[in-house]
A and B are shown apart, each in its own frame.
Chain A
């Protein structure tokens, strides 16, 4: 996107992405510049020693003024040209000041290009006010690159120019701003969208430039690009007004009050929402869940709710540490309802598309009538407005001070864990006094350290809803290892002695999930097992397997006795009555979190609350020890709190 110097006849010098400035007549410098370079030129003009600095008085928050005499304006114009023509690369661009103002009305219809005609037609559109209002709502809390604005234009059925005009109007009113997308400060480039500081530098016609390699999946950004950032003051005003006028207006409140009449009150819900009514005496807020919280969930939900309602923003967030399969997502619902009822904006972010696709319908079901927005890399619509967003973690980078409350699911899972860009994005997307809830079954050492230091408050959810303890994994030593390449003769006998009998025992209880550390082991192990158990249905899969979805679907339906897989089945999957066997559990890809997650596939349902987990390896690594200790500790805690029988 280009920016233009627009020197109005009244002496004001504007820097704008449009070639005109409302009704003000003046001259525009073509062909335009990237914002970063235009800012540099402006700085140069102001620091020149030829008296022009005095001419060009910089007024706070207002365009610089050169004075209305023509001679002064001419001098300024010449000065800017001089700076631009200094570099030979730029001199080639044929700079000239042209009459600005209302360029489109100038020409006859048939001289105009297709785009210009479109634009002219749009300007004559009657409902301009409605358009602007709609625009404001769509961009609220967003941080958008040029490509996003183009997409917004497409989604909205407007020309790109018209969208830019809307952007500029909102920016003129101080409710949004244009930022250089990649900035150099104190010798270091930094991407303003993802915070990356390791950038690819190259030479442009304007001199050194840099492109951010980290967030290019969202559309590439360089130092010649801009991002448009909503400052949200408008919405704040609107919100206050709305509260003063009509207290209950959000979709959720309407729908929830309807729901209340349909559903008989349940004990668990009443307990949960005690105190809720006190907080909003006039309001009619109620969550209409299709489930009943277990005692463990109830306790955790109360704590999350209390944190969300607390006025202080200390500590900076909570860590909800839940046992695998304990229903941590549902534990957040009361807090979500509470925040939405207060008119707050809420984001539920999960690291992977399949988790978003799994969670979105569950939330939708319990908050019927609530307009929640689902954003993933493949969402068809991206710019609708609503109080509640469910998104993949990457999408966080497209928001700025947009949310009062953010839930971050599976924070230790790829790609959030250790990813600085998303940590930066999270801080950006949260409003100044906003709150963060991290959900995890297997907290990272960093987050546990944050708990120790008091930066995160810890909430535990140690028990599953069926009130049975978590199955504790059992470690067995298998001295010869499991590499299928080396299996033959003696090793094969050993396998028949060590592994196959265990598989046979597990398979009596239910389908066996066999985890291996490498993709290349999957198919050989399927073959080995098939040889030994010729009568069984056995299959395997891995991340790049084209039939992955289909096979997992069949696994869910109970079609396989044994299923060999890599970590793809590690989280977020419920296979009825699954039993787990981990081969080479001492491999470095299996850290304690992976081991806990794999064990967490067992005993997840009310129908099959128990099961068996085996870790097999040469050595009992510290990860194996810790994983077993974590699970035991959770069971102990549940017992103490009376959450399991």
Chain B
């Protein structure tokens, strides 16, 4: 029998790991590449700089990265979402970061999200005013039934544990919408009309009235989804809605 197949092998591996952790600082691989990172860092310096641009401003209208003077061209032209007070995107939806998000959604790997909670929490609290509630963007029941999880809800619950902000999950998606992929800006906006509704008791509604919320989603393209959700939330009296997404596009020229 090879050593690797013996019952002692896993125990030995664990022991080695333990001994290692006592003797050296802990190292793990960057979430997006193979590079080793030290201690509690999640991304290596290179990935951080090419996907997260901590130094660049976000468009306050749609969250896009790299908007000069805090607003992108579309939003300056009045094409951006109007119901949200501010939107921020954490990373650029490209390369390994995009693959990561798609891996979570389409390859049944929600457990991969665990590691991002701290850096995401740090980012969010730096860019947005503290809210009363976190509201995840809902998913259409059939898709949720199929996937078994709603990634926006998972991200919101990570932030809930990280920052101690309560969740409010009474927003529902009722219309089946064709996936947004491949649709133009106007089509996207139309596609989503009356796709969302609030399904909450009077008490829940009262709770959220006059409050500030973070509306949480995975990816933002035009902001149409956030806009429609915000509209519904405003209808029941939410005072301010802030958008937070893991990834969005970059403003041209960066």
Contacts and interface: CB of A to CB of B under 8 A. Distances in A.
Instruction: Indicate whether A and B interact.
Output: yes
A204 B145 CA distance: 10
A205 B178 CA distance: 23
B210 to A, nearest CB: 26
Given A418-B2, A418-B4, A446-B2, A205 B111 contact: no
B131 to A, nearest CB: 22
B146 A205 contact: no
Contacts of B145: 2, 31-34, 93, 205
B13 to A, nearest CB: 12
B109 interface: yes
A224 B108 contact: yes
Contact of B111 (A33, A92, A93, A202): A202
Contacts of A93: 141, 144-145
Contacts of A30: 142
B149 interface: yes
Which of B2, B145, B149 gathers the greatest number of chain A CB atoms within 10 Å?
A: B145
Which of A32, A202, A216, A219 gathers the greatest number of chain B CB atoms within 10 Å?
A: A202
Interface residues of A, number: 29
A418 B2 CA distance: 9
Contacts of B110: 202
Nearest to B148: A204
B2 A2 contact: no
Given A200-B109, A225-B108, A205 B4 contact: no
Given A209-B148, A222-B148, A31 B108 contact: no
Interface in B1-31: 2, 4
Given A200-B109, A220-B108, A220-B109, A32 B142 contact: yes
Nearest to B138: A92
Nearest to A2: B146
Interface in A92-119: 92-94, 113
A446 B145 CA distance: 46
Interface string A204-224: 111001010000100111101
A527 B106 CA distance: 47
Interface string B128-143: 0000000000000110
A216 B146 contact: no
A224 B141 contact: no
A203 B146 CA distance: 14
Nearest to A207: B148
A616 B172 CA distance: 71
A204 B2 CA distance: 37
Contacts of A589: none
B171 to A, nearest CB: 11
Interface string A24-43: 00000011111000000000
B71 to A, nearest CB: 37
B111 A200 contact: yes
B190 interface: no
Contacts of B4: 418
A220 B148 CA distance: 14
A211 B108 contact: yes
B144 A205 contact: yes
B84 to A, nearest CB: 25
A225 B108 CA distance: 9
Which of A30, A92, A93, A209 gathers the greatest number of chain B CB atoms within 10 Å?
A: A92
Which of B4, B108, B147, B149 gathers the greatest number of chain A CB atoms within 10 Å?
A: B108
Contacts of B144: 93, 205
Nearest to A94: B141
A314 interface: no
Interface string A385-397: 0000000000000
Contact of B178 (A1, A2, A113, A216): A113
B148 A205 contact: yes
B126 interface: no
A1 B147 CA distance: 9
Contact of A206 (B107, B108, B111, B148): B148
Given A209-B148, A220-B107, 7 more contacts: A113-B178, A206-B148, A211-B107, A216-B107, A221-B108, A225-B108, A418-B2
23 contacts: A2-B142, A2-B145, A30-B142, A31-B142, A31-B145, A32-B142, A32-B146, A92-B141, A94-B141, A113-B178, A200-B111, A202-B111, A204-B148, A205-B149, A209-B108, A211-B108, A220-B106, A221-B108, A222-B148, A224-B108, A224-B147, A418-B2, A418-B4
